[in-house]
Amino acid sequence: MNAHVANHNELRELYRELILDHARSPRHFGKLQCPTHVAEGLNPLCGDRLTVELAIGKDDRIADAAFNGSGCAISVASASIMTETIIGLLRSEATGRQQSIVALLRGELEPAEDIQLARIRALAGVREFPARIKCATLAWQALRSAIDEDGTRATTE
Ligand code: ZN
């Protein structure tokens, strides 16, 4: 049992480092050249304000994603992990993933076997800090808004 506890602590440490790494060096931070879908997420409780940009191709696949703005370490790490998670997915797949991860972060869903990605498990550690859950879900909520909004409406297409 001691070995189990040690492994658990090692995992927690690993997850903490993974989150800090994403917060310090966020992936896909910036703007896309030609975003098709954009949405802003605001978390007034913490002051996090992030904009999510997607480039969804004619095949309905998310070809690229980026985020910009400012926020606390958890919101930035979560946004960074979000972009890495959804690039390459079909829009419908991203919506499904978004729903299960938001439920996971809110504690409405237990980490399932299908959530094998270390970065998602790391993010789920936020459940121990209820005040920070909105920080962690912010980018995912903005993702949903971006997916649901048809950015091409603004063009003459
Ligand atoms: Zn925050």
What is the distance between the alpha carbons of residues 114 and 112, in angstroms, rounded to a whole number?
5
Place of tokens 């910009």: 68
Distance from the CA of 130 to the center of ligand 1, in angstroms?
12
Q: Tens of pLDDT along 8-53?
A: 677 677 788 889 999 999 999 999 999 999 999 999 999 999 999 9
pLDDT of res. 115:
56
Q: Which residue has the higher pLDDT, 43 or 114?
A: 43
What is the distance between the alpha carbons of residues 9 and 25, in angstroms, rounded to a whole number?
24
Distance from the CA of 46 to the center of ligand 1, in angstroms?
5
Prediction pTM value = 0.86
Distance from the CA of 155 to the center of ligand 1, in angstroms?
34
What is the distance between the alpha carbons of residues 81 and 112, in angstroms, rounded to a whole number?
18
48-56/37-43 β-pairing: antiparallel
Structure tokens at 88: 């390459």
Q: Tens of pLDDT along 122-148?
A: 888 888 888 899 999 999 999 999 998
Residues linked to residue 65 through DSSP beta bridges, in sequence order:
54
